[in-house]
């Protein structure tokens, strides 16, 4: 999420989210902290969306709820179509959504807005040009310079060059693949590779990719049609996104090629292609459920070939490998991008990033969208094409870049934390709650119920001790553990009664510390310890 401010007015570019890491137990989504937008809601002229990926639009429903009266939202045709569907799911209607064709300009207070067509792994990707009386800022969004895109519409290089000739004030550009030399493979090269792999398969084919990669799904459908195979789209987001693209005329499928997932078993194995979600090993995805023999309609078996037409996002490698291993256990075959050229990145490589810099000739460069390593590498590329080091700014979340007639400099540092979506709850992260969840996941929980006299705090009944999820090992629960724990509880309560401590909070605190210390000494583990004290 990027905020551009001029003369007290604001344009927000993208409202993305992150997916939780393995350590964020119980967390569904991670949103940016948009408290600044809540406080300045009346100053927002518009929200502009570069494309329809979740890391660029996923937080929009939550942002709109926070800021109240929604501003106008601009984007490309498919982006607006996908966002409209998302907002409907969140029961957010009457939101002013407007498709802005590439090349057209609208005035937004002190800003002029123009969207520029770019190539990416989803159709209708756009760069955002915001012009002011100080100069023009270009936010590239995610992009690559694909010379043979599937839809036949390459990035608008001429308009980018025109911005360079006019004098671009600042380039805020994608840094995702700043560590990869050369040029990214064309998306259209994936189609022939998929067809070649399909042609070698004698049984059922299951292809998994990102549901939003409409061009990839289209090429898989085309390959299936060429081999006279029926296609089943499996996974809610896969069906939804393709239907949106199809209704908008962005995707196209031959008449009669689709079958319902429940109809797969009615067709010969060598006449079916399943296109499924789950390329990242997501726990609840369609492919993961197939691998676990838990899918309602698709049961993998020997003779199937599962094609991963995507590479793991950093951090997802373990989940993907676990899914692949389960597929092998079932007896099916697996093909990945390491075996055939069946994936192409949607982000440009180093030579494409240099081309962007040379086309736009910015006065200032502000590398975006990458970890610090890739921001640094992007900055080095900018230096390599002749941009002076003091005109390149490597920032971080929350740190503003101020530009005026006198020059550019880092300015105010805003809070840039995260907000967790935990079921139906949306709020700031509670590190203690996450810590407890990690403990539960690793070492289980000990629950100790102690009963004391309301008169003097003495123990009046044997404690109840409950274990859940404690990894005792092959030997099971150690002999005498419960009896020893009962002695620890009795000793603690006796000492507290002698000291005339009767505040329940203090009693629970001492019980927690003594039980936790004993368990660690005994088991060399640190489970969550929950003492419960009952007065009678």
Backbone phi and psi for residue 261, each to the nearest 5 degrees, phi listed first: -55, -35
- Our answer to whether residue 347 is catalytic in this structure is yes
Residue partners of 474: CB distance under 8 A and separation at least 6: none
Residue partners of 434: CB distance under 8 A and separation at least 6: 23, 24, 25, 27
Residue with tokens 């962005």: 250
d(CA 182, CA 346): 14
* Angle, alpha carbons 27-53-144 (nearest 5°): 135
Give the pair of three-digit tokens for residue 392. Answer: 């390149």
d(CA 425, CA 421): 6
Give the pair of three-digit tokens for residue 139. Answer: 């936010």
**Angle 190-200/214-226 helices, nearest 10 degrees?**
40
CB 528 within 8 A of CB 443: yes
Q: Which has the closest alpha carbon to 122: 19, 250, 14, 29?
A: 250
CB atoms within 10 A of CB 214: 26
Options 6, 347, 369, 378, the catalytic residue: 347
d(CA 323, CA 349): 29
d(CA 508, CA 531): 6
- Our answer to whether residue 499 is catalytic in this structure is no
Q: Which residues are catalytic?
A: 174, 347
């Amino acid at each position: 999420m990027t905020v551009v401010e001029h003369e007290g007015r604001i344009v927000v570019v993208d409202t993305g989210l992150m997916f939780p890491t393995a350590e964020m137990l119980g967390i569904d989504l991670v949103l940016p902290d948009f408290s600044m937008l809540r406080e300045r809601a009346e100053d927002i002229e518009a929200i502009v969306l570069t494309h329809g990926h979740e890391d660029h639009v996923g937080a929009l429903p939550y942002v709109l709820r926070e800021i109240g009266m929604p501003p106008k939202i601009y984007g490309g045709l498919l982006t607006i179509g996908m966002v409209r569907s998302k907002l409907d799911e969140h029961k957010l209607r009457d939101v002013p959504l407007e498709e802005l064709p590439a090349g057209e300009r609208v005035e937004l207070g002190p800003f002029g807005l123009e969207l520029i067509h770019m190539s990416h792994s989803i159709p209708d990707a756009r760069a955002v040009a915001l012009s002011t009386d100080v100069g023009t800022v270009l936010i590239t969004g995610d992009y690559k310079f694909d010379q043979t895109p599937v839809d036949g519409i390459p990035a608008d290089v001429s308009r980018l060059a025109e911005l360079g000739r006019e004098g671009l004030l600042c380039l805020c550009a994608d840094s995702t693949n700043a560590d990869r030399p050369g040029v990214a493979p064309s998306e259209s090269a994936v189609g022939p590779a998929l067809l070649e792999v399909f042609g070698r398969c004698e049984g059922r084919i299951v292809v998994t990719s990102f549901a939003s990669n409409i061009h990839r799904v289209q090429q898989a459908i085309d390959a299936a049609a060429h081999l006279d195979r029926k296609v089943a789209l499996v996974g809610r987001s896969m069906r939804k996104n393709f239907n949106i693209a199809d209704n908008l005329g962005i995707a196209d499928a031959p008449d009669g090629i689709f079958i319902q997932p429940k109809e797969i078993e009615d067709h010969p194995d060598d006449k079916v292609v399943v296109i499924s979600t789950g390329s990242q090993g997501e726990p609840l995805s369609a492919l993961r459920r197939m691998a676990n023999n838990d899918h309602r309609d698709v049961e993998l078996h020997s003779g199937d070939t599962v094609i991963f037409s995507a590479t793991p996002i950093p951090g997802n490698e373990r989940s993907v490998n676990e899914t692949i291993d389960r597929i092998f256990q079932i007896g099916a075959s697996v093909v990945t991008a390491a075996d055939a050229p069946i994936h192409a990145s949607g982000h440009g490589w180093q030579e494409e990033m240099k081309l962007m810099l040379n086309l736009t000739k910015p006065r200032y460069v502000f590398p975006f969208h990458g970890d610090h390593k890739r921001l640094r590498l992007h900055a080095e590329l900018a230096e390599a094409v002749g941009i002076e080091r003091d005109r390149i700014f490597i920032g971080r979340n929350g740190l503003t870049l101020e530009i005026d007639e006198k020059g550019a400099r880092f300015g105010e540092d805003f809070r840039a934390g995260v907000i967790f979506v935990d079921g139906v709850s949306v709020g700031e992260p509670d590190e203690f709650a996450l810590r407890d969840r990690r403990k539960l996941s690793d070492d289980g929980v000990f629950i100790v119920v102690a009963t004391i006299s309301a008169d003097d705090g003495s123990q009046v009944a044997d404690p109840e001790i409950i274990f859940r999820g404690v990894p005792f090992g092959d030997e099971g629960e150690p002999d005498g553990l419960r009896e020893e724990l009962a002695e620890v509880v009795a000793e603690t309560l006796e000492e507290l009664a002698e000291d005339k401590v009767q505040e329940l909070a203090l009693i629970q605190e001492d019980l927690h510390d003594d039980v936790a210390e004993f368990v660690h000494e005994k088991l060399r583990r640190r489970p969550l310890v929950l003492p419960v004290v009952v007065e009678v």
